[in-house]
Amino acid sequence: MNRLKQLRKEKGLTQQELSEAITAPARTIQRWENGENQIKANRASQLADYFGVSVGYLLGYEPESEQASNYQKIKICFSNGEELSFLVRNFTEKELTKITSQFNNGNLMRIRNLSVNPKNINYFFVEDFEENEVIEDE
């Protein structure tokens, strides 16, 4: 199966929904999935970012076993005691800060501490921002 189609189906998206998410015609996505057209470099990068995979994996150049090593398990502990665990592709600390800054039903959160335990799980301890507080990019 075409990797783009596989990733789209894993995410539970229709071709139309993916086309709206990346602002490309649904017919173009259909052609990519059917192998009628090649995905251009800028679109491949956009799609890889959208699905959280490498361009090489998206285009079928990397086997699935190599792709699995590009992920890390993240656990976010919110100030109200709630926890959230999930897998993400390996990000820099700055990228993770930006990503995790908008969790918990859209309320902005701030990372207070970042540590790695022996089981290679990153823990983020966050505290609430005041509503509508802006996070400055460094």
Task: Identify the bridge partners of residue 126 per DSSP, sorted by sequence position.
Answer: 111
3-class secondary-structure state, position 87: strand
| Class of 3-68 in CATH | mainly alpha
Q: What are 48-68's pLDDT values in tens digits?
A: 888 878 888 888 887 765 554
* Whole-prediction pTM: 0.49
Q: What are 82-115's pLDDT values in tens digits?
A: 666 655 555 566 666 665 555 544 444 444 444 4
Structure-block tokens of residue 30: 């259909």
| Confidence at residue 56, expressed as pLDDT on a 0 to 100 scale | 84
* Residue labelled with tokens 């959208």: 50
